[in-house]
Structure 1
């Protein structure tokens, strides 16, 4: 697999964002967090490449600094 893509790369990004927000409607904080965790694991499984997943973890954590 190639390098981690950190630039916008989602077809219909605004539509996806709206869909993501809609999926969280009427959920408690606990269920919303669980949905995020499940979504992350589903997408991580789809990516499958451990080096890409490690790079994504590092990029996400670095964004918090």
Structure 2
């Protein structure tokens, strides 16, 4: 599959084992109530946002927002 990157944001699969990554995210939420899940998600987002930096973060925010228009 060709990389569909138009800026700094990678949009092609970059996980060696995506099912394992998904399961790890689900497992991290185990035994958390709704408020704790939202707080966990916010912390995770901020950690990952810091890791990827400004350029990728703002591109990802715009891309995610665009997909909301399709929903």
- Give the TM-score normalised by structure 2: 0.81
Larger Rg: 2
Provide the C-alpha distance between the structure 2 equivalents of 1:62 and 1:45, rounded to a whole number of angstroms: 22
Runs of 4+ aligned residues of structure 1 deviating over 4 Å after TM superposition are none
Cα distance in structure 1, aligned partners of 2:15 and 2:28? 18
Highest RCO, 1 vs 2 (Cα 8 Å, sep ≥ 6): 1
Unaligned runs of 5+ in 2: 1-6
State the match for 2:8 in structure 1.
3
Per the normalisation by structure 1, the TM-score is: 0.87
- Structure 1 gaps of 5+ residues are none
> Is residue 35 of structure 1 aligned with residue 40 of structure 2?
yes
1:27 CA drift (Å)? 0.8
Aligned residue pairs, count: 63
For residue 17 of structure 1, give the secondary structure of its aligned residue in structure 2: helix
Pairing 1:1-65 to 2, within 5 Å after superposition: 3-48=8-53, 50-65=54-69
Instruction: Tell me which residue corresponds to 2:3.
Output: none
Aligned-residue CA RMSD in angstroms? 1.2
